[in-house]
């Protein structure tokens, strides 16, 4: 959420941001609503002041009698007030609703563009493997080895699910452990193991609500399944005032992530590219405003370390204004090359939000011990997505015989296993 003062004082800044994003939004109505809201507020407050004044007088007059006329007058004002208050409430609700659906303002350095086509590839790392056979997609490799079960998952749950079996399950767990260990032991993150369900307020905090409800699973009790650990992590300090010395705070969490993929019908339907439940290690930071870009850069590098250690070919892109999500000021993606799919696959998305989420979560800090609290800034990124990494390993490390070599760094996490051979059922 943006600072409401921007609407009044610098609406052009918002208008420019919307233009850059190519985002449809009725800014003029928002501005008009804000003006109307303030007019009503003034009217309401002056009547309340009058009423308070009368009540005080009534208190004083009670003993000597003769408060009846004052009471009468006060009741009259009360009636006027009730009508005005209702108008104000309505204006406020309209305003809040629109504010909640206004996207963040991209940083100046974000490339301007309309779509994915305009994203900027910053660099590529690692060499795609060379095969003297046609590399196969991960679902073929996985099913043949008996380590990925799509049919079974479809029967027990439905389309867009996968079950890891045997060495497949061990491999995904190894990836998770390797990632968590690296981030907590080498990069200074505090490990967090949060709930997988969150309440409406928390989803609002990360701005998944109200605008993106159709992407989420909701329980009959009104909980939401988290679409990413970003949700619990960003809400760890709701309504708190942190000390300046605590910042920056680094959190790393492994969680399952649940997405309805409602808008993705027909897209990536095969394999485990796009599933309703996937697993991911997430990195998240609470920082002081001035630490923004520098900390994001470190976060991206922390994620890259994982891909480098796994010796997977990847590239880093910067998303253009048109392709960036609703919440970020700036986003960098890491994409891993998958020979079987013959495409670059997003495996991490690292974004900084400024105070956009902190304002919604009401997470503040005191710059100085006595100073007024200010909103912290937040950022997060995958470090990295385990399911897609597993997929990438299968495709990059596949052998002509159908087996898959296990990356060096993962072997200690797999009881020394060096190669995945067919599971014997």
Partner RNA sequence: GGAGAGGUGGCCGAGCGGCUGAAGGCGGUCGCCUGCUAAGCGACUAUGGGGGUAUAAGCCCCCAUCGAGGGUUCGAAUCCCUCCCUCUCCGCCA
Applying CB under 7 A, among 22, 59, 188, 195 the residue interacting with RNA is 59
Of residues 127 and 245, the one with the C-beta less far from RNA: 245
Known catalytic residue at 388 = yes
CB of 29 to RNA, least distance (A): 18
HEC readout, the chain: CCCHHHHHHCHHHHHHHHHHHCCCCCHHHHHHHHHHHHHHHHHHHHHHHHHHHHHHHHHHHCCCCCCHHHHHHHHHHHHHHHHHHHHHHHHHHHHHHHHHCCCCCCCCCCCCCCCHHHCEEEEEECCCCCCCCCCCCHHHHHHHHCCEEHHHHHHHCCCCCCEECCHHHHHHHHHHHHHHHHHHHHCCCEEECCCCEECHHHHHHCCCCCCCHHHCCECCCCCEECCCCHHHHHCCCCCCEEEHHHCCEEEEEEEEEECCCHHHCCCCCCCCCCCCEEEEEEEEEEECHHHHHHHHHHHHHHHHHHHHHCCCCEEEEECCCCCCCCCCCEEEEEEEEECCCCEEEEEEEEEEEECHHHHHHCCEEECCCCCCCEECEEEEEEEEEHHHHHHHHHHHCECCCCCEECCHHHHHHHCCCCEECCCCC
Applying CB under 7 A, among 51, 160, 280, 359 the residue interacting with RNA is 51
CB of 8 to RNA, least distance (A): 7
Of residues 62 and 159, the one with the C-beta less far from RNA: 62
Known catalytic residue at 259 = yes
From the list 346, 366, 374, 411, the catalytic residue is 346
Applying CB under 7 A, among 53, 400, 419, 423 the residue interacting with RNA is 53
Applying CB under 7 A, among 16, 46, 97, 401 the residue interacting with RNA is 46
> Segment near RNA (CB under 7 A), from 57-65, 204-212, 347-355, 394-402?
57-65
> Segment near RNA (CB under 7 A), from 46-54, 128-136, 148-156, 412-420?
46-54
Q: Does 13 bind RNA (CB under 7 A)?
A: no
> Segment near RNA (CB under 7 A), from 34-42, 105-113, 260-268, 331-339?
34-42
> Segment near RNA (CB under 7 A), from 53-61, 250-258, 265-273, 301-309?
53-61
Of residues 9 and 294, the one with the C-beta less far from RNA: 9
Known catalytic residue at 4 = no
Q: Does 58 bind RNA (CB under 7 A)?
A: yes
Q: Does 246 bind RNA (CB under 7 A)?
A: no
Q: Does 78 bind RNA (CB under 7 A)?
A: yes
Known catalytic residue at 360 = no
From the list 349, 359, 364, 382, the catalytic residue is 349
Please identify every residue annotated as catalytic: 259, 274, 346, 349, 388
The binding site for RNA (CB under 7 A) comprises: 5, 38, 41-42, 44-46, 48-49, 51-56, 58-59, 62, 71, 74-75, 78, 241, 369-370, 372-373
């Amino acid at each position: 959420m943006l600072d409401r003062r921007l609407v009044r004082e610098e609406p052009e800044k918002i208008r420019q941001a919307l233009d850059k994003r190519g985002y449809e939004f009725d800014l003029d109505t928002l501005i008009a609503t804000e003006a109307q809201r303030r007019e009503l507020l003034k009217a309401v407050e002056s009547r309340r002041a009058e009423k308070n004044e009368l009540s005080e007088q009534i208190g004083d007059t009670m003993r000597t009698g003769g408060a009846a006329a004052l009471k009468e007058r006060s009741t009259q004002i009360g009636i006027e007030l009730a009508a005005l208050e209702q108008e104000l409430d309505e204006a406020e609700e309209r305003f809040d609703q629109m504010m909640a659906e206004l996207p963040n303002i991209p940083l100046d350095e974000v490339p301007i563009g309309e779509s994915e086509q305009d994203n900027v590839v910053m660099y590529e790392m690692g060499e795609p493997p060379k095969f003297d056979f046609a590399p196969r997609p991960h679902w073929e490799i996985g099913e043949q080895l008996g380590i990925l079960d799509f049919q079974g998952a479809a029967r027990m749950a439905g389309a867009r699910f996968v079950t890891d079996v045997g060495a497949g399950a061990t491999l995904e767990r190894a990836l998770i452990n390797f990632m968590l260990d690296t981030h907590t032991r080498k990069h200074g993150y505090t490990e967090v193991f949060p709930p997988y369900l969150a309440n409406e307020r928390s989803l609002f905090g990360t701005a998944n609500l109200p605008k993106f409800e159709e992407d989420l699973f909701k329980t009959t009790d009104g909980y939401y399944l988290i679409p990413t650990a970003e949700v619990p992590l960003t809400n760890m300090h709701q309504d708190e005032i942190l000390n300046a010395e605590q910042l920056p705070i680094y959190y790393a969490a492994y969680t399952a992530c649940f997405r309805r993929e409602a808008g993705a019908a027909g897209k990536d339907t095969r394999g485990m590219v796009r599933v309703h439940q996937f697993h991911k290690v997430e990195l998240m930071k609470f920082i002081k405003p001035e630490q923004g870009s520098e900390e994001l850069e470190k976060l991206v590098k922390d994620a890259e370390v994982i891909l480098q250690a796994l010796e997977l070919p990847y590239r880093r892109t910067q998303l253009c204004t048109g392709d960036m999500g609703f919440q970020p000021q700036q986003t960098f993606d890491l994409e891993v090359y998958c020979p079987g799919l013959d495409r670059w696959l997003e495996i991490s998305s690292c974004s900084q939000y400024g105070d956009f989420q902190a304002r919604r979560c009401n997470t503040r800090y005191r710059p100085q011990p006595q100073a007024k609290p200010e909103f912290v800034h937040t950022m997060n990124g995958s470090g990295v997505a385990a399911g897609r990494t597993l997929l990438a390993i299968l495709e990059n490390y596949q052998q002509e015989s159908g087996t898959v070599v296990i990356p060096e760094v993962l072997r200690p996490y797999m009881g020394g296993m060096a190669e995945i051979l067919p599971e014997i059922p």
